[in-house]
Amino acid sequence: MQRHISTDILVIGGGVAGFGAALGAASQGARVHLVEGTSKIGGVMAFCPGMPWGGGYPTGRSIGGVFAALTDQLCAMDPPMAQVRPSTLENFGHEVIYDHEAAVFAMFQMLEDAGVHVHLNTFVGDPVLDGARIRRVACTDRTGPMTIDPFMVIDCSGDGDLSARAGVPFTVGDGRGNMMGVTLSFSMLNAAWDQVFAKGDPYFQEEAAAGIAAGRLHPDLAKLYLMRGFHKDTVFCNSVHIRGVDGTDPQQIVRATQEGRRRCHQLARFLIDNVPGFQQARMSELGPTVGVRETRKLAAVHRILARDLAAGAKPADGIVCCDNPIDDVMRGGSDMTHDAIVSSGDYYTIPFRAMVPESIENLLFAGRLVCADPAAFASVRGMPQCMAMGQAAGIAAAMALADGRAVQAVDHAAIIVARLAQGVRGIGGDDLRRYAPALNA
């Protein structure tokens, strides 16, 4: 028999944006169902275990909100399960590294405490529209089909399949179809940090060049981005990028993941044989699938433009601060860029309107499918910002429901007031720079 659920708010996707959205909506008293296609929440964070949360400290200060609540919780554990540290890469500011299992546990706990109904291994399919509203959403899990009738939908799926099927216009990648490279990550355990990081080049370019010249590494591995993991003598390898993969095509993902495994094993062998400090190390936490940076960007009532970010724009409906560089990884013919987008000591805020579709009245979206031009997207996509976008969308969806309004008519000022009440900083006229720098910053 077909199962059927009615809910106030349906969050599609349990990545960091979906996590934030579910908590944001639940904080306003809404009944929330979160539907995630895989067996874990986290999205990219789960696919690339140990990936640091970057971008949470514009000008060295915490953005606050759900990101800060999660980080504080992990840092307060005995022993601490997270740490704030400066990134080794230029223009990235501070980042959070954490114990992956502790973080996932804490995130599930926060969802449970908030009363969110979490559906794992459940895939969202087609929407049924009733005029300008999504009336029903088809889902499937192992027991068969299920339908959900939501008052509000927040698409945090990264790829926006449902929104696209509901008719929301979109662009793909840079607008010409070029998407950033996908990445398979892994860690090396028992790597002697003092030897591994003795030279100070985060990219290990000399070693990489030798490996490529000897035919032991793929030519795209000219920059090995290796960083200290959270636990002593672990090294996180965010190195194996694969170009030209369409993240919305499941078969391309399967092939890219196997190609990624090939290159990761090859790289691990190379590190053990050739890079001082890795001799006693072994590979661990190879991602279950490649992490996808970029696919669709949905069209919204406002498009985030790089030129506004460069000017340090802080619009009245700005919902989170950011000063991340333009972090572009192998989009089209490019290699990698980390160019600053905003002048040092300044930041910009991400407007709520970039998550609001033009015509569907009960749909918001958040996370990496936000409406932005390619350079702006390469800056706004950090995990703390995605969490914050989600949290703001959750609050706004609950407000739209409570007020009986379309999402396009939600009072922006009320969203900002609610965000500030949840500890978000640097928005609504508040200046982030009035806060003390973050712990360890």
Ligand X SMILES: Cc1cc2nc3c(=O)[nH]c(=O)nc-3n(C[C@H](O)[C@H](O)[C@H](O)COP(=O)(O)OP(=O)(O)OC[C@H]3O[C@@H](n4cnc5c(N)ncnc54)[C@H](O)[C@@H]3O)c2cc1C
Q: Which is nearer to ligand X, 116 or 428 (CB)?
A: 116
Query: Interhelix angle for 100-113 vs 16-27, to 10°?
Result: 30
Count the Cβ atoms, other than its own, within 10 Å of residue 288.
14
Q: Which is nearer to ligand X, 37 or 394 (CB)?
A: 37
In the complex, least distance from residue 336 CB atom to ligand X, rounded to whole angstroms:
11
By CB under 6 A, name the binding residues for ligand X.
12-18, 35-38, 43-45, 48, 51-55, 123-124, 156-159, 161, 183, 291-293, 367-368, 381-383, 386
In the complex, least distance from residue 15 CB atom to ligand X, rounded to whole angstroms:
2
Q: Which is nearer to ligand X, 94 or 381 (CB)?
A: 381
92 half-sphere exposure, CB direction, 13 A CA radius = 23
Closest CA to 22 of 435, 302, 389, 432: 389
In the complex, least distance from residue 164 CB atom to ligand X, rounded to whole angstroms:
11
Q: Which is nearer to ligand X, 22 or 35 (CB)?
A: 35
In the complex, least distance from residue 414 CB atom to ligand X, rounded to whole angstroms:
24
**CB of 397 within 8 A of CB of 20?**
no
In the complex, least distance from residue 409 CB atom to ligand X, rounded to whole angstroms:
25
In the complex, least distance from residue 280 CB atom to ligand X, rounded to whole angstroms:
27
Containing 402, the helix (H) or strand (E) segment is helix 383-403
In the complex, least distance from residue 85 CB atom to ligand X, rounded to whole angstroms:
13
Q: Which is nearer to ligand X, 100 or 368 (CB)?
A: 368
Q: Which is nearer to ligand X, 93 or 211 (CB)?
A: 93
Q: Which is nearer to ligand X, 158 or 211 (CB)?
A: 158
Containing 206, the helix (H) or strand (E) segment is helix 205-213
Q: For residue 367, give the DSSP letter.
A: S
Query: Interhelix angle for 65-75 vs 16-27, to 10°?
Result: 100
CA 370 to each of CA 355, 378, 393, 403, 408: distance values in angstroms, whole numbers, following the listed order: 6, 11, 11, 24, 16
Cis bond before residue 79 (omega within 30° of 0): yes
Sign of torsion, CA 291 297 303 307? positive
